[in-house]
Amino acid sequence: MQDCVGYTQSGPIFHAKTRALEKLLQKHIPSENKADSLSDYPGGVQLIYPTAPFRLSTQDIPGFLSDETDESIDRWAWWTREKDCDKYKGFEQGLSNIASVIRANNGIDGVIGFSQGAAAAALVASLLEPGRRQVFEQMHKKDPQTLAFPEEWCDLINMIPNGLKFAVAYSGFQPSHPAYQAFFEPKIQTPILNFIGSLDTVLDETRSRALVEKCTSEKSKLVSHPGGHFVPNDKRMVSVLIAFIRECVMDSIQHL
């Protein structure tokens, strides 16, 4: 299972912030062969925390207040926004890095992301869906301004032929530039659990709901939590997460 970190975070920082959530996942999907564990996962859950490829400068971070310098700052992004445009700089490189992580780990079953990482999680789920490559090729042929299917992902669709079992997006959003249309048209079939904070002042709720609208699986869910721009780890929210993962994994096993 891969975790995609949020804008300004690194893999180790995100790991530290979500360690409690990781422990709860490992508790409910343990490596021991317990009656309530998932027998198809005898080794339990392994979480991967990659660091995004682009080191940010202080100018890249809105409202940045710190004594840190550009040389010492440990803040990262999967991509950055181009000036006065909804298109992203470094977008393809960010996706290429994610592909390398998946390949190095011989595939993944699901992906969990926060903020920009949640948007990336939805993109990963889309790219690995059966038939998505053909959608990209047809759309790019019709309109060369749209993104071509990234070559680094061609072997991964053979490695994971049925696509991901699930994705989880905490405070996610849909990249809205027309260049990224093939990710979302047709809508994403992979089950996605979307969490939105009702007090989130960093990301406008309409942007998160735009992503929700692109998730068409019957198992996809939207959950609002009474908090801001963070990953909730209270008992109720974790129970929702565990139930969702179990449902998606068990359903995929039964259809093998």
Give the pLDDT score at 35: 45
Is 0.75 topped by the overall pTM?
yes
Give the pLDDT score at 252: 64
Q: Total structural domains in the chain?
A: 1
Using alpha carbons, select from 237, 234, 179, 227 the residue that is nearest to residue 205: 227
Neighbouring residues of 8: CB distance < 8 A, sequence distance ≥ 6: 56, 61, 75, 76, 77
**Residue whose tokens read 């301004």:** 145
Give the pLDDT score at 33: 45
Distance between first and last Cα of the chain: 19
Distances (CA, A) of 4 to 51, 102, 198, 200: 8, 11, 22, 19
Give the pLDDT score at 26: 85
Report the distance separating Cα 51 and Cα 4, nearest Å: 8
Give the pLDDT score at 40: 58
DSSP string, 116-155: HHHHHHHHHHHHTSTTHHHHHHHHHHH-TTSPPPPGGGHH
Q: Which domain holds residue 130?
A: 2-254
Q: What is the CATH number of the domain that holds 93?
A: 3.40.50.1820
Residues of the chain with pLDDT below 50 are 32-35, 65, 256
